Amino acid sequence: MRFAALALIVLLAACSSAPPKSAGGYYKDDGPGANPPANLASVPDAVPRSEPLHKYANRPYEVFGKKYVPLASVQPFEQRGTASWYGKKFHGQKTSSGETYDMYKMTAAHPTLPIPSYVRVTSVSNGKSVVVRINDRGPFHAGRIIDLSYVAAYKLGYVGAGSAQVTVEAIVPGAARASR
């Protein structure tokens, strides 16, 4: 049990974001990797579907002295704030869901949304929108609400800036989307 708790803490800490150290990334050597796919703009959005919630990734937890209580069900949720992204530094590592992080898939990390769940993320500055699957925890950097995969941030147009103001809207499979 002790090993499992330690492993969970390590997995959760892996999604924390450090302050920008160079244009476009949160780590000096972060970015798209040596051979990014040529079709990044055409990577399809995640397709929302009903999935059973992860047995362990949705339990209350603590990171850097702050306590988090994930939502216990997929439900309406909306949030506005700063999005960041994570790239090759975490590419190939395990996420909180136990899946392998792939920076070229439409996924994201959120501190309290259920794992797995789906959200629509919309850039406040340009109106671009993507749908991603929440499969990880983070970001654990003050002022950030979501960490998108590299390709999701690319599609929203903010990889060079490193972060952007966004709205995050939960998608409840089978529910009609509210009109604005």
Domain boundaries of the chain, sorted by first residue? 2-171
The topology under which CATH files domain 2-171 is Barwin-like endoglucanases (2.40.40)
pLDDT-derived band at 177, boundaries 50, 70, 90: low
DSSP result, 83-108: EEEE-TTTTTSB-TTSPBP-TTSSEE
Counting DSSP H helices and E strands in the chain, the numbers are 2, 8
Nearest-Å Rg of the Cα atoms of the chain is 15
Q: Are strands 129-136 and 61-63 parallel, antiparallel or unpaired?
A: unpaired
pLDDT-derived band at 144, boundaries 50, 70, 90: very high
What's phi and psi for 146, nearest 5 deg? -155, 145
CA-CA-CA-CA torsion sign (177, 72, 47, 107):
positive
pTM equals 0.82
Q: Name 117's Cβ contacts closer than 8 Å, sequence gap at least 6.
A: 74, 133, 134, 170, 171
pLDDT at residue number 88: 82
Residue 23: pLDDT above 70?
Answer: no
* Contact between 135 and 94 (Cβ < 8 Å): no
Closest by CA position to 110, among listed 100, 102, 124, 120: 120
